[in-house]
A = this chain, B = another copy of it.
């Protein structure tokens, strides 16, 4: 199985690295070509164009920022779909939501290409370690075919349901983690206002019913005010917006996420490329006069 990989950012590069390391023949492409260099050194073919990736691959993996970026590599005369053979597969690791996915799967299907959505959770740490959780939407037969490939980049591979279902699962997970992050931020800031030391917080919160992945992350990054992503505020906010779109489409109220969204938007306006935990700094929850 010849693999193509498009999108070699913080997540994509280590995922491609792991595929290469496990012996897959890999053709890579990145808009900023320099990002492909380290993979080229290790034996990946560096494609000059998307068409080159398309013709060289049985399965093309995508890991880009958003739906717009996916359309940019898939659509048009220079895009992947125009050059992929019938019976090939696109595995989209990007987080773009179920609505865009269903549309793209339809376009792919018209060209005989199978679209599988496969968004991931676990961050850059999980991408490097190959321990991502992958939430897959699409037909069962193709899922079985691509599972060995997914098992190289992830540890827990879950077939959620039909096309778009992987995206829905991802948005739900990110809605919950985004709210957990903001909850941790609110608690930490309130505790600071009450004069409780970070040392006490670090001792108590992870040993209390307040414990969460996001509490641990915020406590770890708070002292250094780390700004290096990881997951950026802008992407965190994008995913929450997609979850609200999904809720709207289902006619679901999503009260808490709707209250949280303006706080994230405000933080993005202040410093969108900051690490996501920057929401605790940039969100205006300070004393009111």
Task: List chain A positions with a Cβ less than 8 A from chain B.
Answer: 98, 121-123, 133, 135, 156, 158, 160-161, 165, 168-169, 172-177, 179-180, 182-184, 186-187, 189-191, 193-196, 200-201, 203-205, 207-215, 243, 246-247, 250-257, 259-260, 263, 283-289
Contact = CB atoms under 8 A, between A and B. Distances in A.
A183 B172 contact: no
B254 A186 contact: yes
Nearest to A205: B173
B209 A169 contact: no
A252 B194 CA distance: 10
Contacts of A168: 191, 194-196
B287 A177 contact: no
A184 to B, nearest CB: 6
A2 to B, nearest CB: 30
Interface centre among A187, A189, A200, A288 (most CB of B within 10 A): A187
Contacts of A215: 176, 212
A204 B256 contact: no
Given A165-B196, A214-B209, A256-B256, A173 B186 contact: no
Contacts of A135: 204
A276 to B, nearest CB: 10
Contact of A177 (B195, B209, B246): B209
B133 A255 contact: no
A175 B187 CA distance: 7
B180 A180 contact: yes
22 contacts: A122-B209, A133-B207, A156-B203, A156-B204, A160-B204, A161-B195, A173-B187, A176-B205, A176-B210, A179-B180, A179-B186, A179-B256, A182-B256, A183-B183, A190-B250, A193-B247, A193-B250, A212-B213, A255-B263, A255-B285, A256-B259, A256-B263
A203 B190 CA distance: 33
Contacts of A200: 158, 160-161, 169
Q: 8 tightest CB-CB pairs across the interface, nearest first?
A: A259-B259, A212-B212, A179-B183, A176-B210, A251-B287, A176-B187, A121-B208, A177-B209
Contacts of A259: 255-256, 259-260
Given A172-B190, A209-B123, A196 B160 contact: yes
A286 B180 CA distance: 21
